[in-house]
Amino acid sequence: MIQTATHPELPLLRVAILDDDLGMQTMLHRVLSSAFLPTIVRSGRELISLIEGKGSDLILLDLRLPGEDGLEVLRSVRAMSTTPTIIVTGAGNDSTVEAGLNLGADDYVVKPFAPQVLLARMRSVLRRSMTAPTETPITAPTAMALGEASFFPTLRQIVSPTRETHAVTEREAQILKILCRKGTEIATRDEISRQVTGYDWDPSDRSLDVHVCRLRSKLAVATDDRVSIDPVRGVGYRLRVSPRPGN
């Protein structure tokens, strides 16, 4: 039976860094690596691709980018995501910072800054983003068991038994969450489509099958082929969890 549980060891939160200064990139990556999973991106397009694909839990964004308008990058991010964002800026850019905050950035730091100041601001922004408007207490992300692996829907991550993290897209996370809740029961295509898109399943639309195929491949890697998604002809899908050999 596939059950919901709270995992004792949470995966590290992911931080996307967009800054054209190589020295700043190196410093940020070094400082953050002990407590987060930092990823360096080198353009606004690369940042958008990261958010659309693997996703990120927080963004550090330099608004002064060569050949790009950092404010337009921020605008594009906010058009598709509410990922907490901290502006990293140089001194004397008050008007740009103000514009960034008005576009939806959550906070800012001015270069040069002490690493402990940045970390404090990051934690503050993350706390605020995890707190509901009703000021309910912050709770740890809930995990759904996948055999010996764990799936964190809100983080969009599958954590293998060896503690390796495997990112899934938002759509894949929605599908996997439905399948986990169904356990060994079948989730129909109509059921999945309505919960994910709000519409009944269209037999001419193969996008659901494509998402399931990609998710099946990621599950195979994350669980060493012990968790899969079986198609049920003419109906839908269901999870299959195979025991470790010898169990």
Same domain, 124 and 153: no
Report pLDDT digits (tens) over 117-149. Answer: 899 889 888 887 765 444 444 345 678 889 889
Tell the residue number behind the tokens 């799936």, with chain if given.
151
Same domain, 153 and 122: no
Of 130, 158, 182, which residue constitutes the final position of a domain?
A: 130
pLDDT of 215 = 93
Same domain, 19 and 123: yes
Establish if 52 belongs to a structural domain.
yes
Same domain, 110 and 211: no
Establish if 56 belongs to a structural domain.
yes
pLDDT of 191 = 92
Report pLDDT digits (tens) over 194-218. Answer: 888 777 888 877 788 888 998 999 9
Establish if 246 belongs to a structural domain.
no
Establish if 136 belongs to a structural domain.
no
Same domain, 213 and 178: yes
pLDDT of 200 = 80
Of 130, 160, 179, which residue constitutes the final position of a domain?
A: 130
pLDDT of 133 = 46
pLDDT of 154 = 82
Same domain, 86 and 194: no
Counting Cβ atoms within 10 Å, is residue 124 exposed (0-12), middle (13-18) or buried (19+)?
A: middle
* CATH number where 189 lies: 1.10.10.10
Same domain, 45 and 72: yes
Q: How do beta strands 227-232 and 236-241 pair?
A: antiparallel
* pLDDT at position 73 over 80: yes
Of 108, 130, 152, which residue constitutes the final position of a domain?
A: 130
Same domain, 99 and 193: no
Establish if 94 belongs to a structural domain.
yes
pLDDT of 86 = 94
* CATH number where 85 lies: 3.40.50.2300
Whole-angstrom distance between the N-terminal and C-terminal Cα of the chain? 15
* pLDDT at position 16 over 90: yes
Q: Which residues make Cβ contacts (< 8 Å) with residue 143, sequence separation at least 6? A: 4, 5, 6, 7, 150, 151, 152, 159
Report pLDDT digits (tens) over 84-108. Answer: 999 998 867 778 888 888 888 888 9
Res. 78 pLDDT band, cuts 50 70 90: confident
- Count up the domains in the chain and report the number: 2
Establish if 233 belongs to a structural domain.
yes
Going 18 to 162 to 139 to 170, the CA torsion angle's sign is: positive
Its pTM surpasses 0.85: no
List, as own/partner pairs, every contact residues 106-113 make where C-beta atoms lie below 8 angstroms and the sequence separation is at least 24, other chains included.
Answer: 111/24
% of the chain residues with pLDDT over 70:
89
Domain of 125 in residue numbering reads as 4-130
Same domain, 80 and 19: yes
% of the chain residues with pLDDT over 90:
36
Establish if 156 belongs to a structural domain.
yes
Same domain, 97 and 149: no
* pLDDT at position 9 over 60: no
Establish if 30 belongs to a structural domain.
yes
Mean pLDDT of the chain: 84
Same domain, 15 and 45: yes
Same domain, 121 and 47: yes
pLDDT of 131 = 55
pLDDT of 29 = 92
